[in-house]
Amino acid sequence: MAPLRVAMIGHGFMGAAHSQGWRVAPRFFDLPAPIEMAVVVGRRAEGAEAAAAKWGWAESATDWREVIARDDIDIVDIVTPGDSHAEIAIAALEAGKHVLCEKPLANSVAEAEAMTAAAEKAFARGVVAMVGFTYRRVPAAGLAKQLIAAGKIGRIQQVRAAYLQDWLADPESPLTWRLDKSLAGSGSLGDIGAHAIDLSEFVTGMKLASVSGTLETLVTERPVMASASGLSGTAGAERGPVTVDDVALIVGRYDSGVLGTFEATRFATGRKNALRLEVSGTAGAIAFDLEDMNALQFYDATAPAGEQGFRRIQVTEPVHPYVAAWWPPGHIIGYEHGFSHQVVDFTAAIAAGTQPEPSFADGLHVQRALAAVEASADAGSAWTTV
């Protein structure tokens, strides 16, 4: 294949992670085509130029529409706030570009439906679209999926998932775009709860069918950043409203009838990035914690009573998902490696002309689950169909 030339729309935290993925993946994996980091796009020229210089993009720009219209761009990678996902993704797909879009797919079900419809039309022309639920690419999560699919824990009876962070625990932490519903769509629910929902579905193979949810905003106003953008600078004396949830608590029922519980909070003091998943079955269980991401806990209930107990599997062997391309056994990998694995899977789908996973349709399903949680919370935690 000819080189795949990538344009990344947006930069910052996710832009850094995606840049690392594009830059490193071709050096460790045999991709179906060379990768060229062609252009990074930002709202301000100086910010985009700095990102290009830091992360290795060939050039920078400020107008994403002009970049998408270029004939020399093959892939559009969207790492902007959620309020712009739909407009950029649909325009890129209609222009014949493959699209990778950060999660959650959009800020509303209507936007996600429009994006999915555009992706389906584009796929008929050989253009693919994928949503970036990157934690699917953690090797331990892949191993958990394999063990469950092989029947190692028997019939699934219960799922528990939680995503715990504490970066907003200080009530004087300033407002950012993630606390503005018009930009972010929702708070902890969409930012990290979406990951907990998607990872549970990926690992178990089940889909949420109905939910009962409670949302809470613990700090209703915060200091406003001094800069006009609200994305940088220092906090001033002015305070502004927090318009998203801080905590989401959810009970869900999967299409199989199995119950699951979910928690998403950015107020779990002391927890920095703890995405936890435990799946209990008739013959065993698996447990995963992103803060110990190179390990999977496995319980074999069929072992003799005197030998039972959760066993720690170090997920660093060449037989484990993605690991063979990296380091010798026992040499761990980190957060950024999932973004390289994302590049591997995305470019493989482009080369094969197959639908990548998770697809925009998968992202739409999660968006519907998020909307159902919000509707349930508004209705006093009434059970709501996804």
Kindly report, residue by residue over 268-307, the tens digit of the pLDDT. 999 999 999 999 999 999 999 999 999 999 999 999 999 9
Same domain, 181 and 247: yes
What's the mean per-residue pLDDT of the chain? 96
- Name the band, by pLDDT with cuts 50, 70 and 90, for residue 133: very high
Please give the full DSSP string across 175-221, using - where no structure is assigned: P-GGG-HHHHSSSHIIIIIHHHHHHHHHHH---EEEEEEEEE-S--E
pLDDT tens figures, 346-379: 999 999 999 999 999 999 999 999 999 999 999 9
Q: Is residue 328 one of the residues assigned to a domain?
A: yes
Q: Are residues 127 and 152 in the same domain?
A: no
Question: What's the structural domain count of the chain?
Answer: 2
198 in a structural domain: yes
Domain boundary, last residue among 132, 159, 189: 132
Same domain, 35 and 181: no
Percent of the chain with pLDDT over 90: 96
Whether 310 is in a domain gets the answer: yes
**CA atoms of 99 and 50, how far apart (whole Å):** 24
34-62: pLDDT as tens digits: 999 999 999 999 999 999 999 999 999 99
Is residue 65 domain-shared with residue 190, that is, in the same domain?
Answer: no
When pLDDT is cut at 50, 70 and 90, the band that residue 228 belongs to is very low
Same domain membership, residue 24 and residue 48: yes
Residue 143 lies in a domain: yes
Note the pLDDT of residue 233: 53
CB atoms within 10 A of CB 138: 25
Q: What is the mean pLDDT of residues 214-229?
A: 84
Task: Let me know whether 244 and 302 are in one domain.
Answer: yes
CATH of the domain at 275: 3.30.360.10
Residues 25 and 121 in one domain: yes
- pLDDT confidence of 313, banded at 50, 70, 90? very high
Residue type at 219 in one-letter notation: V
149 and 286 co-located in one domain: yes
Do residues 200 and 277 touch, judged by C-beta distance below 8 A? Answer: yes
pLDDT at 77: 98
pLDDT tier at 76 (50, 70, 90 boundaries)?
Answer: very high
Per-residue tokens: 210: 């109905």
> According to the model, what pLDDT value does residue 1 have?
86
Residue 195 lies in a domain: yes
Same domain? For 73 and 208 the reply is no
Tell me, what CATH number does 55's domain have?
3.40.50.720
Neighbours of 223 (CB within 10 A): 17
In a shared domain, residues 83 and 188: no
Q: What is the C-alpha separation between 293 and 324, in angstroms, rounded?
A: 17
Q: Which two tokens stand for residue 88?
A: 């950029």
- Residue 290 is which amino acid? L
Residue span of the structural domain in which 41 resides: 4-132
Residues 128 and 159 reside in one and the same domain: no
Which of 79, 102, 132 terminates a domain? The answer is 132
In a domain, 344, yes or no: no
Helix (H, G, I), strand (E, B) or coil at 10: coil
Does 363 fall in a domain?
A: no
Give the Cα separation of 204 and 35 in Å (integer).
33
- The torsion region of residue 17 among left (phi > 0), alpha (psi -120 to 50) and beta comes to alpha
CB-facing half-sphere around the CA of 266: CA atoms within 13 A: 22
Tokens 């928690």 belong to which residue? 263
Mark whether 119 and 141 lie in a shared domain: no
Confidence category of residue 86, pLDDT binned at 50, 70, 90:
very high
Strands across the sheet containing 208-216: 311-314, 295-300, 284-289, 274-281, 156-164, 259-265, 247-254, 208-216, 384-385
In a domain, 376, yes or no: no
**Among residues 67, 102, 132, which one ends one of the domains?**
132
From the centroid of its chain, how far is CA 187? Answer: 14
